[in-house]
Amino acid sequence: MDFLPYTLKWLELVLRWSHVLFSILWVGNSFLFNYLDNKLNKNISSEDIDGEGYLMHSGYYYKLTRLKKSPPIQYLSNLVIFKWQSYLTFITGILLLIIIYYYNSGILMIDNAFDDFLYMPWGELLLGDTPDGKIPRAHTICFFGCAITIIGIGVGYFAVLGILMGSFNKEKVILVQEQK
């Protein structure tokens, strides 16, 4: 009995639910920090503190302080960075793409006559040439569609980042001008 198909199905199931769980954690964490950032008291005249707020959870009170610059060195070892939700969402998503669309390409109506496509150098696809001169049309469309999507996401990301950073810099310039 061949266990590879069962193993891949279970791996796909675990990756799907992990991807859903990590994305929920990531979105929830983003909502939490956006909410906190909007509710902080920003009417503080301090050189180091940009905003303050209080939280209550499970009967305990927490004092939040948003700093204008990095905390002292001794606090950096205790710094908690919320990055693993986004990293694990991305990693499980890439693994799902590999298992579903690359490894199981035969079930997605892609011609199985070209089994060597899995081992073909990706550069040959960019040049549009293979040793036998044949590239399945579905693979070509899939590759270029993925490439255009990735390029579009990258350009969009940097465009939005440039717009946001430009607006943040303008706010900082306005604040500096008002302080003078």
Q: What pLDDT digit, counting tens, does each position of 33-87 carry?
A: 888 888 888 888 888 888 898 888 899 998 888 888 888 788 877 877 788 898 9
**Of 103, 133, 149, which one is at a domain's C-terminal end?**
103
Residue 172 main-chain phi, psi, to 5 deg: -65, -40
User: Are 3 and 85 in the same domain?
Assistant: yes
Residue 151 has pLDDT above 50, yes or no: yes
User: Are 91 and 154 in the same domain?
Assistant: no
User: Are 86 and 40 in the same domain?
Assistant: yes
Position 177, amino acid? Q
Closest residue by Cα to residue 141 from 116, 113, 107, 108? 108
Contact yes or no for 50/67 (Cβ under 8 A):
yes
pLDDT of residue 157: 79
Residue 28 structural domain:
1-103
Q: Is residue 119 part of a domain?
A: no
User: Are 152 and 91 in the same domain?
Assistant: no
pLDDT of residue 71: 80
User: Are 36 and 83 in the same domain?
Assistant: yes
User: Are 12 and 46 in the same domain?
Assistant: yes
H/E stretch holding 2 reads none
Residue 137 has pLDDT above 60, yes or no: no
pLDDT of residue 143: 66
| pLDDT tier at 93, thresholds 50, 70, 90 | very high
Q: Is residue 115 part of a domain?
A: no
User: Are 27 and 63 in the same domain?
Assistant: yes
Position 165, amino acid? M
User: Are 129 and 92 in the same domain?
Assistant: no
| pLDDT tier at 88, thresholds 50, 70, 90 | very high
Pairing relationship of beta strands 60-67 and 49-57 according to DSSP bridges: antiparallel
User: Are 70 and 149 in the same domain?
Assistant: no
| pLDDT tier at 174, thresholds 50, 70, 90 | very low
- Total-model pTM: 0.55
| pLDDT tier at 27, thresholds 50, 70, 90 | very high
Q: Is residue 108 part of a domain?
A: no
